[in-house]
Amino acid sequence: MKRIRIYVDTSVIGGCLDDEFADESRALLTMARRGEAVLLLSDLLLEELAKAPPAVRSVLESLPERCFETVVASEESRELRDAYLAAQIASEASKNDAHHVALATVSRADIIVSWNFKHIVHYEKIRAFNAVNLLQGYNTMEIRSPLEVVP
């Protein structure tokens, strides 16, 4: 069975330690441990986690290497991020959120999972990201919260 490739942003990792989001965030990591999914971890996520409290940073340390794939920012991902910014889907202040979507798109993730309901997991934002993706020659991206992904 093919493992689903799930791009996770920083909110999912931090969600593991948040009472409101912990169950579903941890269930997503469990899916990876069981071999049902591979988590795509970007250098942007790791950069953001470096600024997080030690407890949040330690969440990923519990995962075996087979559970994740590293995704690296590139000129291609930055150009797609900039197309999102030009389309005013995201502001300069939330350009990292746009870059997460670009990284997931360029790396051909099956889905991006986030708790960021303001800048990523929002009906109008999802439609706009996908419109730009199609205009730029990419596939559309499934964007969901962990609630919609975990069993």
Q: Where are the domains of the chain?
A: 4-148
Q: Where are the beta strands (DSSP E) in 18-113?
A: 37-42, 68-71, 111-113
Cα–Cα distances in Å, from 93 out to 65, 101, 111, 132? 32, 15, 24, 19
Quick one: which of 10, 2, 73, 3 has its CA closest to 32? 3
67-126 pLDDT tens trace: 999 999 999 999 999 999 999 999 999 999 999 999 999 999 999 999 999 999 999 999
- 3-state DSSP call for residue 113? strand
Claim: this prediction has a pTM higher than 0.85: yes
Q: Please write the tens of the pLDDT for every residue from 17-37.
A: 999 999 999 999 999 999 999
Neighbours of 48 (CB within 10 A): 18
**What is the fold, at CATH topology level, of the domain defined by 4-148?**
Rossmann fold (3.40.50)
From CA 51, how far away is CA 143, in angstroms rounded? Answer: 25
> Where are any strands of DSSP class E within the chain?
4-8, 37-42, 68-71, 111-113, 143-144
Instruction: Give the pLDDT confidence score for residue 62 in this predicted structure.
Output: 84
pLDDT at 93: 94
Can you tell me the distance from the alpha carbon of 59 to that of 62, in angstroms, rounded to the nearest whole number? 6
